[in-house]
Structure 1
Amino acid sequence: MLFLEALVERQIQEAQQQGMFDDLPGSGKPLILEDDSQVPENLRMSYRILKMSGFLPEALQLRQDALSLKTLLAQATDADKRSTYHAQLELIKSRLSHASLSAEFLYDIHYGEEVKRKIIGKG
């Protein structure tokens, strides 16, 4: 196997020296890599299919719901709505905790801005 790896590596280096990799689409731009290393190998394809279909894993959906509720809670003026939002947020925090996930992102004032920058591609 080492011989084959060395042969392939040499061919790649020769092609690189000849400029065969210059002017490729996306050259000079950061790679968009999907880090699914934390997803068990037997579930990766299912997760990719769900992601391409617009579905989020439960943990991400819970985080998204928690952030939405936090915003609603901050903007609510009606006491009943505030109470409802607060109860729903506490339920989500409990579910996150039960799944051994942190709810620290709810208390980090910079978290939302970082997420926005990543979504719109400025960071």
Structure 2
Amino acid sequence: MTVNSFPELRGQRNSVRSETDIQGVVEQRIWHSMEEGQFENLPGKGKPLNLNTNPHADPAEDTLYRILSKNGCAPEWVQLNKDIRSQVSEW
């Protein structure tokens, strides 16, 4: 991202922008847009989200995970995560 993406941050001494600075600007822009009613006429407003698929995931990978889940299996990294969390809670 460039300074031009966030004019609110121009003029700051340090040319490196922290993640906190950018998050603050983004939150301000969202609140301002909400106050102006820019989110009132979005398609699907008031309807539940479809969480059956991940629109950002690779379709083949998403299908694979769905098949594994329906058959009571989990990817190795998910099972390892569960095992680690279980051992940590035991300690």
Is the structural similarity TM-score above 0.5? no
Which has the greater radius of gyration? 1
TM-score by length of structure 1 reads 0.34
Larger relative helix fraction: 1
> Whose RCO is larger (CA < 8 A, sep 6+)?
1
Q: TM-score with structure 2 length normalisation?
A: 0.44
